[in-house]
Amino acid sequence: MQAKDERYPDYPLFKGLQRPLELMGLQGRYIYWAAGAAGGAIVGFIIAYCLAGFVSGLVVLVAVLSTGIALIMLKQRKGLHTKKELRGVYVYAYSKKL
């Protein structure tokens, strides 16, 4: 009878463990996309600066950054787990084999 009356200690539970990683409004995999876009822009700037000059380097930097940001914002708007949307009507003849 003592076992039923014994109360186990309560511990606080952190409820945010199932939420995706978020940094400055970017969620999950898009953080890595932003880091890749920034890294690609810097590398592109260095290469264009060495080959053609400062102004062309800035053009490449702005072009790569703006393309990366636009792509991230468009993809993130669809959701973190974007999947291919199949259009049409699908009819399943049966769901299980008997």
Q: Give every CB contact of residue 60 below 8 A, 6+ residues apart in sequence.
A: 41, 44, 45, 47, 48
pTM for the predicted model, two decimal places: 0.61
Q: Give me the number of domains the chain comprises.
A: 1
Is residue 33 in some structural domain?
Answer: yes
Range of the domain at 40: 26-75
Is residue 30 in some structural domain?
Answer: yes
Is residue 59 in some structural domain?
Answer: yes
Share of the chain above pLDDT 70, in %: 77
Per-residue pLDDT averaged across 20-24, rounded? 74
Cα–Cα distance for residue pair 76/42, rounded to 1 Å: 23
Q: How many CB atoms lie within 10 A of CB 39?
A: 12
Is residue 46 in some structural domain?
Answer: yes
